Amino acid sequence: MPALLELLSRLAAAIMLVISLVYLASSWTDGSTPSHHLDISSQVVWTQNPVVIDRSIQTYERIAPATDPYPVKLRTANRIRVMDNTTFRYDGTDFRLAGVAPIERDRICMTRSGRRQACGLKAFKALDNVLRNQRVECRVIRGAESGQEVECIVDGSDLRDMLHAALSG
């Protein structure tokens, strides 16, 4: 116990010595502020009155905002109707996927093993399942009276790639 008290007293003495030296060093300066420091009392940092900014004399470079590559935003919850494997209707507007070959819904195909498959219904349901309750972003490739030809993404993935994966798996 006496060793602990001696250690604490030496520590307190060292701290007092450092504080005394700092105080002594600060009293030796003349108290003037160096010229490279900001003197808050001489310059206004903030005003209480509104300041009018004249944009015509500002020399800042104005950068145009980035354009959205997929400007058409669709929230598909209960507002979408899939017509076939390439076309869907959203709020009365028809959208047709660019680069996707249409397949009639009642088309029957033969698999490689020779079995019959309802490929038209499978393609229709693949698009319906991918679009259901999703946030779809599209860009119009061509507009037409019958609808708009679009490229779309769902959660950052190309919709056509998603359909291809759904139909091949």
CA distances from residue 145 to 57, 95, 159 in whole angstroms, order as listed: 49, 11, 23
The model's pLDDT over 55-110, given as tens digits with 9 standing for 90+, comes to 888 787 878 888 999 999 998 887 899 988 999 999 888 999 999 988 888 899 88
Per-residue pLDDT, averaged over 37-45, amounts to 57
Check: CB of residue 139 under 8 Å from CB of residue 151.
Answer: yes
For the cut 80, the answer to whether the pLDDT of residue 165 exceeds it is: yes
For the cut 70, the answer to whether the pLDDT of residue 40 exceeds it is: no
The mean of the pLDDT values for the chain is 84
For the cut 80, the answer to whether the pLDDT of residue 27 exceeds it is: no
| CA-based nearest residue to 104, from 119, 88, 125 | 119
The pLDDT value recorded for residue 10 is 93
For the cut 90, the answer to whether the pLDDT of residue 39 exceeds it is: no
CA distances from residue 52 to 44, 46, 58, 60, 97 in whole angstroms, order as listed: 16, 14, 12, 17, 51
The pLDDT value recorded for residue 147 is 76
CA distances from residue 113 to 108, 110, 116, 163 in whole angstroms, order as listed: 14, 8, 9, 22
Q: Which residue has the higher pLDDT, 74 or 53?
A: 74
Residue type, 99: G
The model's pLDDT over 108-122, given as tens digits with 9 standing for 90+, comes to 988 889 999 998 999
Sequential DSSP letters for 99-117: T-----TT--EE-TTS-EE
Q: Pick one of 2.40.50.90, 3.40.1380.20, 3.50.50.60, 3.40.50.2300 as the CATH number of 72-168.
A: 2.40.50.90
For the cut 70, the answer to whether the pLDDT of residue 28 exceeds it is: no
Core vs surface per residue 135-150: b (16+ CB within 10 A) or e: ebbbeeeeeeeebbbb
CA-angle at 36, arms to 31 and 40, nearest 5°: 70
Percent of the chain with pLDDT over 70: 87
The pLDDT value recorded for residue 139 is 93
Q: Classify the C-alpha dihedral 132-135-138-144 as positive or negative.
A: positive
For the cut 70, the answer to whether the pLDDT of residue 169 exceeds it is: no
For the cut 90, the answer to whether the pLDDT of residue 153 exceeds it is: yes
